[in-house]
Structure 1
Amino acid sequence: MGTNMRKIGCLSTLLVVSALSGCGVLGPSEYKEPANDDAATLVFSKGGHMLVIPNIYTGAAECTDRTRLPPIPDDGEVVRKIAAGQPISFSLSRTEGYLGDGCVVTATFTPVPNHRYLAQVKGHGTTCHLELNDAGKPGDEYVPPKAVAKEDRKWHRPLSESGPFCTE
């Protein structure tokens, strides 16, 4: 009888995990770009050989409903269209040497329609900061990028995947 109860317990656990994973509760959802023509562009890049994973939060106020993007390649960027005219929050998780100490930077800002924003995490070890610059509209290639007014947020580990992932 004890063996049957254990089998039922294991089956119940598997069913619950399967049901939750089918609903996307166990991991971040996939980011969906806005379809409107005046969307802004957010470019995530990095300097050096480190693991950097960007996240965008659809709930900007408290960094809720995380959408994870792919890791930034060593020789490239991760580029996404973002809704303009409303606050957006994002974070960059960085680990040096792919196994060493790391840090997370999180910020909120309000993008301007059709502008291109450049986000990069900089620092060393567990200390880092975020550089966010506005590269302007298409055709502004000869105008130097300008620092963006942003609100630096304090990242924290939430109780569930829906967040909140930040405070302050």
Structure 2
Amino acid sequence: MRSAFSLRRPAFVMAAALGLVGCTALRNDWVEPTSGPTAQLAVAGLPNGTVGLHLYDDYRTCSGRRLVVSSNNDNRILPRPVKVVAGQPLAFTAWAIKRGNLGCNQTGTFTPQANQRYVAQMIVSEADFSCRLVVRTENGRPVPVKPRVIGKQLTVTEQSSFCLAD
């Protein structure tokens, strides 16, 4: 049985590439908090692939999607961490496209702690066409991430709800 976050072949990848990577070339619109407690979140690169990260204004429904970063660097932290509000749930989607024909994404929620640095990483397995999202603190400690159920809308805009409400 494949997970809900399985890698899909060309049809899915083309849709993902248009929907996710297409946004990459147009904007990077995350606005970092300027006051209150903050944490930092970065995304790790993927060998032979492109990765990206979206954050949401409303964690409950994953609405107000904001592009944070997208890059095709190998196994590095891209390009710098972004500040996020600490002490409240954060909804995000990490995605990966490997070698142009395998893609996956996963949406989840966790609560960042003040002054902590986190790294999100998509682990992609070509052997069984699967992927999983891992978030760790800068010292390597795994962070529990609550997987989110993606909503099924016919029309999607950047302000749409991308997941079902908590």
Instruction: Judge same fold: TM > 0.5, yes or no.
Output: yes
> Does 1:91 pair with 2:93?
yes
Determine the C-alpha separation between the residues in 2 that align with 1:73 and 1:51.
4
Q: How big is the shift at 1:115?
A: 0.4
Q: Which residue of 2 aligns with 1:166?
A: 163
Determine the C-alpha separation between the residues in 1 that align with 2:28 and 2:87.
23
In 1, are the aligned partners of 2:37 and 2:87 still within 8 Å (CA)?
no
Q: Which residue of 2 aligns with 1:21?
A: none
Equivalent residue letter for 2:42? V
Q: Which residue of 2 aligns with 1:111?
A: 112
CA separation of 1:107/1:61 partners in 2, compared to 1, >3 Å: closer, same or farther? same
Structure 2 unaligned residues grouped into runs of 5+: 1-25
Q: How big is the shift at 1:123?
A: 1.8
Structure 1 unaligned residues grouped into runs of 5+: 1-26, 136-143
Determine the C-alpha separation between the residues in 1 that align with 2:97 and 2:151.
16
Equivalent residue letter for 1:165? F
Q: Deviations along 1:23-42, whole A, 9 cap, x unmatched?
A: xxxx8771100112631000
Percent identity reads 26
CA separation of 1:129/1:47 partners in 2, compared to 1, >3 Å: closer, same or farther? same
Give the TM-score normalised by structure 1: 0.70
> Does 1:45 pair with 2:44?
yes
In 2, are the aligned partners of 1:105 and 1:155 still within 8 Å (CA)?
no
CA RMSD of aligned residues (A): 2.2
CA separation of 1:103/1:156 partners in 2, compared to 1, >3 Å: closer, same or farther? farther
Q: How big is the shift at 1:154?
A: 2.8
> Does 1:101 pair with 2:120?
no
CA separation of 1:28/1:65 partners in 2, compared to 1, >3 Å: closer, same or farther? farther
Q: Which one scores higher on RCO, CA 8 angstroms, separation ≥ 6? A: 2
In 1, are the aligned partners of 2:110 and 2:146 still within 8 Å (CA)?
yes
Q: How many equivalent pairs are there?
A: 133
Correspondence list, 1:64-75, <5 A: 64-75=63-74
Q: Which has the larger radius of gyration?
A: 1
